[in-house]
Structure 1
Amino acid sequence: MTGFFTYRNFSLHDTPPLDGRVALITASAGNRIVAHSRDSEITAQLLRYGIEKVFVVARNKNKYMDSKEEWRRRAHITLGKNDSRVEFIKCDLTDILSVQGAARQVKLKTERLHIVICNAGQAVSSQYHRSPQNVESVFAANCLGHHILVILLLSLLRETVRTTSSEARVVVASSSMHQLCRKLDLDLLTLPTNPKPALYDGIWRYGRSKLGDILFTKELSRRLLQAGDTSSKRIYVNAFFPGNIVTEQWNAWNAFLGKLIGSMLRKVFSVIGQSVQDGAATAVYLAASKEVKERDIRGQYFVPIAKPKTASAIANDMELARDLWNWIDAKATETLGSNWQHETDEDRLDKSPRAM
């Protein structure tokens, strides 16, 4: 999917007013959160259309501060220097304890949460690393961390729906590269070393993480629909591919292809790929458009812009989706304990957020 095939099913100008809503977006650590990034553009659009509060969950506060200065200069956005409409929460998505700490902070800072946008992620990498809990780091950041964060925030989403007249949204960034992963062997997620050639393995591991994002989206949507409470059924969960947007993360191709070819690749896709505005538009559509509720859009995968598309066959394997869900639940239980999904307000107040 390139810019030549960008569908125009939604425009950022169609974003409805977001007054009174509270959102959370995860932002990538390896990508400068500035004007040319998707993280910044999504947040800018939420601010432009009147969001009451945005929590930006990321590893690097300096990059967040750069973004905040850029948002203040944007037309149609009124944001004072110490404006509390945006707030940074430090979090390393590869670390389960850090994710728990971030979720606790959010719950202590707000009683409402309408929108969660799982946008952060590690790019294709030639380096093989594992998380503090010994999970391959790209999968830990892109899939496992977001899964645990959303589950820890589900009670807040449900309570928001229950006490207001609005619904809630969970939006998960995936990629067309999920199609490159044709098999998901859960045992491979904790291998101590990389057994494959760097180029093949780096691309495959990234695709695997994005497959995991779609499987999570579909399984969470299924579970919410089958839950007994009405509030769960008013939480809409969908995944999206933002498009081929040339950002700082594309420099990773230099390690695989060399600087010359990597530079040529970036130049080509800067012409035929999507803009940051196009890349943000599908996320904003799924987070805010009235169509999602009116058309009962759940557990679907979208490509730019706001176009539903059938994901790969394995991404629609609901048995695999349940297996992955249970695997992540077990991994979280090892670290956080058996009651990790149902932490009470009293538990949060008694335990200060873990070091992140």
Structure 2
Amino acid sequence: MQTESLQSTQPKTRTQRGVTLQDVARAVQLSESTVSLVMSGKGRVAPQTRERVRQVARELSFQPNPAGQQLAIGHRNETVGLFALNLDLGVVTQKLQILQNLLGKKGFSTPIYVCGQPEYGGVVDQAELIRNLRLLRPRAIVCNDAGLEQPALDELQRFMDEGGTIVCYDTAIALDCDQVVFDREHNTYLATRHLLELGHRRIGFHLGVVGRAYPNARFAGFQRALNEYNAPLLSQWLDLPQAEAYESAGVRLAQQFLAEKERPTAMCIVNDYASVGFMAHLQRSGLKIPQDVSIVSHDDLPVAALGSHVTLTSASHPVETIANQVARLVGERLDGEYRGASRTVEVRGELSVRESSAPLVMSH
């Protein structure tokens, strides 16, 4: 339901609306065209005049609009900024690559802005990076919102308040914008239910890498499946080691698994690379998959089907579907095909059953 609200007709002050090129021109008593030349670095302007304009601009906290500068010299702004917290070897990077390709075919320039990863020397502040992107005045920002902190969300809200278009994807967030949401709870529910249908009741659960998981949704799906089958939820199979890289996380998980006196008969692992690392270490230690332990993984990347002589059962992360939906929502907004209320598209994955999971009677 849409509601209407009364708005004040009083003019905004300079502080409320932001300092404009016209404000700077009035302050230095020069034409707007001269000030524009100074701020863009184009044309011939006396050094003293150039310095005076820049000094006044600094005093007024004037922020040039790069998009406006491009328009002034005859270029239309067709930039759509892509934002993500990090790059990886899997689904995060795949989505960005597909989005770049899809939006590029629509004629948009799509620079990628990434905060970085702690294991590679620290990260850029989320809010600062989005603020810098916002000040470039792109036509839209497409944001992988998983793990965004409140200051970063505030910057996205400011961009929308300024008239910018936002499309977010991955998790549901508290912004009134178009969103594509991946149902992680259902994904892990499918994976866990598969093991339960095979007769397993002692099931371990591993989220993967520190700071990269979505414990609420993933764990909720795991727990929902267990509850449906009256299977126990045992803490010793939940509090398992995490690591700074997916493959090493799998190896550490395998080491802990081997040290357990009473082992799970099956493992639900939320990442294909971690699953491959887990499986490889167990095999090197003499265990057989799925005879000694069944494994269900997540993401269904190529490594699940090709990374080992025992192929992985895996719940898919629908990367292409997510990217296609995001590109559609962005395109419809920017082309003017849709101007209505914000939309939310929910996307679900599917389970690919392969060799790593087997009925309990075969496993034990």
Q: TM-score range by the shorter chain?
A: 0.3 to 0.5
Q: Which structure is larger by alpha-carbon Rg, 1 or 2?
A: 2
Q: TM-score if structure 2 supplies the norm length?
A: 0.36
Q: TM-score if structure 1 supplies the norm length?
A: 0.37
